Amino acid sequence: MNGGIGRDAALRRPVGAARQPYLNVRWFGRMEFARALELQEELVAKRRENALLEDQLLLLEHEPVYTIGRTPDRSSLLGSDHLPHPLFSINRGGQATYHGPGQLMGYPIIDLRRCGEDLHKYLRWLEQLLIDLLVRYDIAAQRRVSLTGVWVENRKIASIGVGVRHWITMHGFALNVCGDLSSFDHIVPCGINNVAITSMEKETKKSFTVAEVASTLEKLALDSIVSLRVSPETQLINA
C-alpha cells in the first residue's frame, strides 16, 4: 500500500487485466475529515476527466467528527447543539454516524461504469470485503436484511455510506477496530434505535492497530476488485 504500508499492486494484477485500470491502495494515517473530503472531491473530478486513471482506495483514520448524509430527517443527531465533536453534512446516503481514532476509514474512488453501473452490487462488494477481513481475525460477521453495513450478531461493527457522481464513487466504509466508542452515545447511529456498537477489540479482547488492519484489507481489496468489475466486452455494450 502506498503511503506507509507499501507493496507493488501491479505484481498482483490478474492475467489479462493489463488493459483494465487497477486499484491503487493508499494509507494516509491520521487525517482531518475536511482534508479527506477535499481529496476525494479532487480524485473524483480527475477520474471523471480521465477514464484511464486507476481506481483508488484511500485508507485512513480521522480526528473525532460526526457526519450525516443527504436527508431532511436529522433526528439521528439528537440535537446537534450538544454534540462533542464537529458535524459535517455530506453527499452520501444515510443518517448520522461518528468517525474517530481507532476506526479504519475506507474511501474507494471507483468508476462504476466499469462495474456494470450497479450500485447494489458495489454495496454488497463493500460488505463482503469487510466480512472477509473480519474472518481473518476470527470474527464471524454478517449482513442484516435491509440494513446496509456489517454486524456481529446484533452488534454493528462497520458502517457503509456512499456517494456517487457520474457513476464514480466516494465516501465508503468505517470499521471499528479499537478505542473508545462512547462518542456514538450522542447520536442514533445510522438512525437505528437502540443499536449496539462494537469493535474488533471488543469482540476478540485483543489489541489491534488501525494500520495493521489496513494492511490486511489492502490484500483482500486487491484480490477481490476483479469480482466487482465486468468484462471489457460488457463495458462496450453498456457504454
Q: What residues form DSSP beta bridges with 176? A: 103
Task: Indicate the DSSP class of residue 208.
Answer: -
Task: Indicate the DSSP class of residue 84.
Answer: S
For residues 225 and 186, give the distance between their C-alpha atoms in angstroms, rounded to a whole number: 36
Burial class (CB in 10 A: 0-12, 13-18, 19+), 224: middle
| Chain center to CA of 174 | 5
For residues 171 and 201, give the distance between their C-alpha atoms in angstroms, rounded to a whole number: 24
Q: Which of 36, 44, 157, 190 is catalytic?
A: 190
For residues 119 and 170, give the distance between their C-alpha atoms in angstroms, rounded to a whole number: 12
190 catalytic? Reply is yes
Active site amino acids: 190
